[in-house]
Structure 1
Amino acid sequence: MLNWGPVFVAAILFILLSPGLLFQLPGNRRWVEFGNFQTSGAAMMIHTLFYFALICVFLIAVKMADWGPVVIAVVLFVLLSPGLLFQLPGRNRVVEFGNMQTSIVSIVVHTVIFFGLITIFLIAIGVHISTDSG
């Protein structure tokens, strides 16, 4: 039986913690900005820490011995957050690189890519990083 729980938890957290969708901490003009559809390096760092903390709570609490889903989800969160490395679709072109912007459509597209990749890594390949020594 396949365990889709980590995939869905990771994808939902990806959406909710994408900088600029619900909030950006720190914001560009204030400490916290809501729904500004922008990001920054500092915001990515803070949102990644939130993502890591929540994914640990939700996934490791269930499977204490497996860090694979956590590590993969956090790495994909950073790499696929719209606007940090790339935004698909961009505002002026199909793909824009490092523009620190996002949109609802970009978050949807990046979430689909995130969901596909995390499904491949966790379900199809079954990547595991075990803390068991035996």
Structure 2
Amino acid sequence: MLNWGPVLVGVVLFVVLTPGLLFQVPGRRSLVEFGNLQTSGTSILVHSLIYFCLVCLFIIVINLQIYIDREMADWGPVVISVVLFVLLSPGLLFQLPGKGRVVEFGNMQTSGPSILVHTIIFFCLTTIFLIALGVHIYAG
């Protein structure tokens, strides 16, 4: 059986918590800004911490799965999705598509199309690591 729970949780949270899409904490001019399609290193860090907490809550604490297979907590989905969230946050390392070019690097910008493309990349990589390769990390 395949457990799609961590993939779905990761993808939904990736979209909802992408800095600048729905909100950005901290914003450029105030503590919270809504829908400004901007980002910064600080807001990616804050959003990554929020992402980590929510992924832990849904996957480890609530144990949100399509099936329950193991007694031990599997940290693989948490670690992989948090790392991918940071690396694929539009504008931090790259933005695809960019504002003026196909790919822009480190511009701290985002847009609807780039969030869509980054979400598709996030989904594909998460699926590869968690479903196809079956990466697991068990503590203790």
| TM-score of the superposed pair, with normalisation by structure 1 | 0.96
Paired residues for 1:1-134 under 5 Å: 1-61=1-61, 62=63, 65-132=73-140
Q: Secondary structure at the match of 1:79?
A: helix
Distance apart, 1:65 and its partner CA: 1.4
Deviations 1:98-121 (A, max 9, x none): 000000100000000000000000
Q: Return 47-56 or 62-71, whichever deviates more.
A: 62-71
Structure 1: 5+ residue stretches without partners = none
4+ residue runs of structure 1 moved beyond 3 angstroms? none
The letter for the 1-side match of 2:29 is R
Structure 2: 5+ residue stretches without partners = 64-69
The letter for the 2-side match of 1:42 is T
Distance apart, 1:68 and its partner CA: 0.4
The letter for the 2-side match of 1:22 is L
The letter for the 2-side match of 1:10 is G
What is the percentage of aligned positions where both structures have the same residue? 70
Count of aligned pairs between the two proteins: 132
Distance apart, 1:131 and its partner CA: 1.5
Q: Superposition RMSD on alpha carbons, in Å?
A: 0.9
| TM-score of the superposed pair, with normalisation by structure 2 | 0.92
